[in-house]
A and B are shown apart, each in its own frame.
Chain A
Amino acid sequence: MTKFANILRELKSYPSAVAGVSVILIMVIVAIYALATIPYSEAVRLWRGGDNVWLETPRNARPAWINKVRREKLPASIILKTSEDPSLKTVVDLGGGVSTSDVVFTFDYQYDAFPSEISMFFTAKFDKARPNVSMKWITPDGREIRLTDMTVRQSESYRISQDNAVSRRVGGLLPEIGLFADPNDPSKVMKGTYQVVVEGLVFEEGSTLDASLVVYGQVYGLAGTDHRRRDIMVALLWGTPVALAFGLLAAVGSSLTTMTLAAAAVWFGGWVDYIIRRINEIVMILPLLPILIMVGLFYSRSIWAILGVVILLSIFGSGILTYRSMFLQVKESGYIDAARAYGASNARIIFRYMVPKVIPVLIPQFVAQVPNYVFLEATLAVLGLGDPVLPTWGKLLNDAYTSGALFNGHYYWVLEPAFLLVVTGLGFAMLGFALDRIFNPRLRGL
């Protein structure tokens, strides 16, 4: 225990180790937070949900804090719903089951850029006769622009941005630009209070009509959104436990088994040693990534299956030779002879006397290995072999890359997962380097 305290005290004298440990702690806290707030099934649902989960978020929106550093403010989404605010809706009974259901959406637009899309969503309850709606757009300077008339099914969406008729009415501009543009200078936004008036007519007793207006912004949340309107934050949060679990399990799994095997090879010597060394030679020329790719393609893409193969292949990797040479020295120690003399079993000598002896040397290597595995997961994901259901950092990078994020200027989409990968990798690597110097007296002071 005092040894442990000594190591801790020594670690404190390395600023990089302190930084590394704090990074790892923060990551662990984020991972726990993610697991606590978004359960596994919820994470999978959010990430695979398709259009219905992310109906009201903008596509490829930048993170909202970008407005803090920009002079021209980008719009956030404006969402108005009659189902949440019934005061927007006025219902007048006309008798005979027929009633008007008028909705006026009023919002203040004070941004310097145009929204990315505009949509209206309707939900209606009726037996046979569909409600009728007619919509118009009122700009701050009082111009009225007719949008469209339509009958509404049980759930109906009207994508104003895709309505060519509206585009023609605003002088050939895209609707989301034309409806917000200053008529004197179409490149400028007219700031002020806009109104969208929906005049609804329902034809049945008990039939209702609810509408919502979504003016999609160009910024969203802390992390922005991707090409499928998903909040990138979900993947950033959930990627943390996945990355930590993958990195730690792979590092622990491979280094412990490798060490035990190396100890056995040295202890038994002879043909055991011979076979283990030959296997090592074969594994060294087996290309890890292509093999993983084949496993991903032909067997299972689950991150846990891949993890198993990674551990299996790295057991006989280059590490086994390092451990082997260490154990060769350990085997010659006097206390091993003593153990042999009192008749200790092979297993006892290997697990109680040989393995514990090299654990201090193992720890720094083990910590320094974690980032390799974290990046390996990202590498596989970038190749399109990420876990099919889980959101991970690598999958974010892959999505960003396949949709040309760098080429199209969606830098945040690449930079956010990349930043987390770098920080996690650096955290473990810095701690590993410091531990290496503490446990390796030859490196001390260098």
Chain B
Amino acid sequence: MSKLQATTGRAVPARSATTGTFARIARYTLVRGVTLIVTVVIGVYLAILIANGGGYVDQMRIGTVREQISLQMANNEALRDMSLQERREYEQRLVDIEIARLGLDQPFLVRSFRYLWNGLTLDLGSAEYLLSDSGSRQGRNILGERLGPTLLLMATGQLLLFFTSVFFALFLSRRYGTVMDRIVVALAPTSAAPAWFYGIFLILIFAALLGWLPFGGMVEAPPPRNPWLRALSVVRHLILPVGAIVISSIFYTSYYWRTFFLIYSSEDYVDMAKAKGLPSGAIERGYVLRPTLPTIITSFALTLISLWTGAIVLETVFGWPGIGRLTQMAINLFDTPVIVGTVVIYAYLLALTVFLLDIIYAVVDPRVKLGGGERRS
């Protein structure tokens, strides 16, 4: 297949080469997308298997049904005259109907696939205790409401982290061996601690001791009416959690990438470029950054994956009203539908991250672009 394309590409030079590249990237993206969808389906199914833990959750749900029905019957004046025996039978009948309605009487294998579909479409039924801010009990509404803040926090933090790290690493590789460089190398082990951990210290310093920034939350209470002031308030609340994300990873990523840049800047072609008298900016962009980009993106992808799940505690620590904080609340209230929902959402977010990075990878890695084989793993 690729051989065929290569030959056609050679036959009609200029235009077809670009469309060929495009087609290859598109095909690559499509294949990756389909694989990822399959992986997400399997992942969510596993999550459902775990969540259903040997029918434990079913037991709980049947228990709730029974309790609700007996409560309804106790409040129903019309049933007062029934004998105990009649009442029992009537209650059992109602319970059976409700169980059949919820599908709890079907074998688990059948149900698990329905759960899978419901999970994938985030049709999670109603939460047991939690309410969305607008008062809805639908799991989907509750999760949807929280998705925005999480994306805002994580996207800001991750983008800031990526770009500052790349430029910082380039800067350091230029100043190899200076005091600054040594300090960063010495500080690299500090990235062993997760973001929420630095969050605690940032809160301690900037909120508790200095009082400059808020302890947590996303906007002031009550939120300002003026949209500009509200945005400003959100920014003020963003500073500390984003700072925690950046601080927790910047030294390690800078150190790691700087080392890569250093290794690559000792290559012969870089010396050649220097000898040709190219400006240092052009050397950095074209000869050092370019070949290291695929590696850097892979390592950043791994950072991202750990950051996503780390967000649960980060949001909890900062009281940020996102999915992570929701997870924590759902844990405390034992709200199963919401917990399963958060697992599904995180699986989606992770898959999306992997997918986006795959596309970027395809764009920057010449081996993919030129169809030189599958992605190096």
Contacts and interface: CB of A to CB of B under 8 A. Distances in A.
Interface in B315-373: 316-317, 327-328, 331-332, 334, 339-340, 342-343, 346-347, 350-351, 354
B228 interface: no
Interface in A371-414: 371-372, 375, 378-379, 382-385, 397, 401, 406-407, 409, 411, 414
A287 B204 contact: no
* Most A CB within 10 A of own CB, among B40, B189, B192, B343: B192
A70 B339 CA distance: 47
B50 A291 contact: yes
A23 B47 CA distance: 39
Interface string A71-107: 0000000000000000000000000000000000000
A345 B43 CA distance: 35
B193 interface: yes
Interface string B181-216: 000001011111110110011011001100000010
Contacts of A406: 200, 203-204, 207-208, 215
A294 B50 contact: yes
Contacts of A397: 200
B331 A385 contact: yes
Contacts of A426: 189-190, 192
B74 interface: no
Nearest to A408: B208
A205 interface: no
Contact of A407 (B188, B215, B302): B215
Contact of A324 (B36, B328, B377): B377
Contacts of B312: 289-290, 293, 383
B262 interface: yes
B346 A290 contact: yes
A433 B332 CA distance: 38
A443 interface: yes
Interface secondary structure of A, over-half rule = helix
Contact of A384 (B193, B310, B332): B332
Nearest to A397: B200
Interface stretch (B51-59, B65-73, B152-160): B51-59
A258 to B, nearest CB: 15
A406 B201 CA distance: 10
A290 B351 contact: no
B26 interface: no
Given A16-B189, A298-B57, A383-B316, A286 B347 contact: yes
Contacts of B53: 298-299
A375 B331 contact: no
A165 interface: no
A429 B193 CA distance: 10
A414 B204 contact: yes
Given A288-B309, A318-B302, A297 B263 contact: no
Contacts of A432: 189
Nearest to A292: B309
A285 interface: yes
B43 A375 contact: no
A156 interface: no
Interface in A290-309: 290-291, 293-295, 297-299
A239 interface: no
Report the interface size class on chain A.
35 or more
A384 B194 contact: no
B85 to A, nearest CB: 37
Given A375-B192, A406-B204, A442 B377 contact: no
Interface string A411-429: 1001100100110011011
A429 B334 contact: no
A382 B196 contact: yes
A428 B190 CA distance: 11
A281 B35 contact: yes
A19 to B, nearest CB: 10
Contacts of B190: 422, 426, 429
Contacts of A383: 312-313, 316, 327-328, 331
Interface in B107-151: none
Contacts of B340: 294
A277 B305 CA distance: 18
Contacts of B106: none
Contacts of A429: 188-192
Contact of B208 (A278, A379, A409): A409
B300 interface: no
Nearest to A433: B189
Contacts of A277: 377
Interface in A348-383: 368, 371-372, 375, 378-379, 382-383
Contacts of A234: none
B313 A294 contact: no
Contact of B47 (A16, A286, A368, A401): A286
A310 interface: no
A290 B309 contact: yes
B42 interface: yes
Contacts of A384: 328, 331-332
Contacts of B168: none
A287 B343 contact: yes
Contact of B377 (A321, A409, A430): A321
A299 B54 CA distance: 9
A425 B190 CA distance: 8
Given A282-B46, A285-B347, A382 B316 contact: yes
**Closest A-B pairs by Cβ, 5 of them:** A429-B189, A371-B192, A287-B346, A289-B309, A425-B192
29 contacts: A277-B377, A282-B42, A284-B39, A284-B305, A285-B351, A286-B350, A287-B350, A288-B309, A289-B310, A290-B47, A291-B50, A293-B327, A294-B50, A294-B340, A294-B343, A297-B331, A318-B305, A325-B376, A382-B196, A383-B316, A401-B317, A414-B204, A425-B189, A426-B190, A429-B190, A429-B191, A430-B189, A433-B188, A446-B262
Given A422-B190, A426-B192, 11 more contacts: A286-B46, A289-B313, A299-B53, A318-B305, A382-B196, A383-B316, A426-B189, A429-B188, A429-B190, A433-B188, A443-B259
Interface of B: 35-36, 39-40, 42-43, 46-47, 50-51, 53, 56-57, 176, 186, 188-194, 196-197, 200-201, 203-204, 207-208, 215, 259, 262-263, 302, 305, 308-310, 312-313, 316-317, 327-328, 331-332, 334, 339-340, 342-343, 346-347, 350-351, 354, 376-377
